[in-house]
């Protein structure tokens, strides 16, 4: 599996085995730590584990929303691709019909 990388999540040391770069893992840790800080500022829970879990749930929610939006955009792209192919096929037919008409007129 990959190399071992140490990160710090909300003051807790964590060693992760991954193929990702150290920079990538640092960005992930900072993203989670930033969300933890935001939740701490809002207050509402004193249990640090709950704060970390809330931060992880918020980030997971964002991931799910992005995945749903990605699927919507992918479906739109697929529909546009099909429409393009349909228009191209109609244009090809019209071009052949026009060429046949012109060829008949020139005979």
Higher pLDDT pick, 40 / 69: 69
Chain-centre distance for alpha carbon 61:
12
Q: Is the dihedral of CA 71, 74, 78, 84 positive or negative?
A: positive
- Alpha helix locations (H) across the chain? 22-42, 48-105
Domain count, the chain: 1
Rounded mean pLDDT of 69-88?
98
Q: Is residue 45 very low, low, confident or very high in pLDDT (cuts 50, 70, 90)?
A: confident
pTM here? 0.71
Structural domain containing residue 12: 3-105
């Amino acid at each position: 599996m990959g190399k071992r990388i140490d990160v710090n999540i909300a003051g807790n040391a964590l060693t992760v085995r991954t193929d990702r770069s150290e920079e990538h893992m640092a960005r992930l840790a900072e993203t989670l730590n930033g969300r933890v800080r935001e939740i701490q500022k809002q207050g509402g829970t004193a249990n640090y584990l709950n704060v970390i879990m809330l931060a992880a749930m918020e980030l997971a929610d964002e991931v799910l929303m992005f995945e749903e939006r990605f699927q919507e955009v992918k479906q739109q792209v697929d529909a546009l691709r099909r429409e393009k192919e349909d228009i191209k096929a109609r244009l090809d037919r019209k071009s052949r019909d026009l060429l046949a008409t012109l060829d008949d007129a020139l005979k």
